[in-house]
Copies of this chain bind each other. A is one copy, B any other.
Amino acid sequence: MARLYAALVHYPVLNRRGEIIASAITNLDLHDLARAGRTYDVRACYVVTPLRDQQALSERLLKHWNEGIARELLPERVEALRRIKVVEDIRAAADDIASVHGLRPGIWATTAGKGERRLTHREARRLLVEDAKPYLLLFGTGWGLAPAVFDQVDAVLEPIAGMNGYNHLSVRCAAAILFDRLLRADQSI
């Protein structure tokens, strides 16, 4: 059984000009990631930000959905959002996973860019099925993960290839497509 975790990284990521920034939390990102994660049984979705006010905002958003009227009207949303955990950095996410499994996770970065020595989705899928160890899949917000992140991961996944060289999916859609490619039960489609 796949032991896949996901992290939505808000720092360090790039902005449009290629500068390293901490991006802002987006309520909808959290919901979409949680719902897709729950659908594909991604074990937990980490929201990575070192900014205290952004951590507090995330916690407030999650608390809102876990209480009162929202809980009553949208129980399936509550169930999804329970998988979201707010952490300070990527290491904290890896530590949390290690504390559950007693094994450090393999860490995979994602990117829309081309490059060499990329882990294919097929190979990643095989590792998830065959490996006992957990894996953590990193998604960059803004204009993608900062270069330093790529030096610290075990592999970089091949980008999702479109039909005509265009690749500007939202992080929400990219995560959903990757979950489907790596985790869906029916491999025939």
Contact A189 B122 (CB under 8 A): yes
Inter-chain contacts of A24 with B (CB < 8 A): none
Inter-chain contacts of A172 with B (CB < 8 A): 32, 170, 172-173, 176
Question: Could you tell me the distance in whole angstroms from the C-beta of A99 to the nearest C-beta in chain B?
Answer: 23
Asked if A73 is at the interface (CB within 8 A of a chain B CB), the reply is yes
Contact B162 A32 (CB under 8 A): no
Asked if A19 is at the interface (CB within 8 A of a chain B CB), the reply is no
Asked if A180 is at the interface (CB within 8 A of a chain B CB), the reply is yes
- Chain A residues bordering chain B, tally (CB within 8 A): 44
Task: Scan A13-40; emit 1 where CB is below 8 A from any B CB, else 0.
Answer: 0001000000000001001100110111
Contact B189 A35 (CB under 8 A): no
Inter-chain contacts of A41 with B (CB < 8 A): 162-164
Question: Could you tell me the distance in whole angstroms from the C-beta of A21 to the nearest C-beta in chain B?
Answer: 15
Inter-chain contacts of A163 with B (CB < 8 A): 39-41, 183-185
Asked if A161 is at the interface (CB within 8 A of a chain B CB), the reply is yes
Contact A32 B170 (CB under 8 A): yes
* Residue on B nearest A176 in the bound complex, by CB: B173
* Residue on B nearest A77 in the bound complex, by CB: B168
**Contact A185/B168 with A73-B16, A173-B176 known, Cβ cut-off 8 Å:** no
- A188–B176 CA distance with the chains assembled, in angstroms: 18
Task: Scan A28-66; emit 1 where CB is below 8 A from any B CB, else 0.
Answer: 100110011011110000000000000000000000000
**Shortest 9 CB-CB distances between A and B: which pairs?**
A173-B176, A39-B162, A41-B163, A121-B189, A177-B180, A32-B170, A76-B168, A122-B189, A36-B173
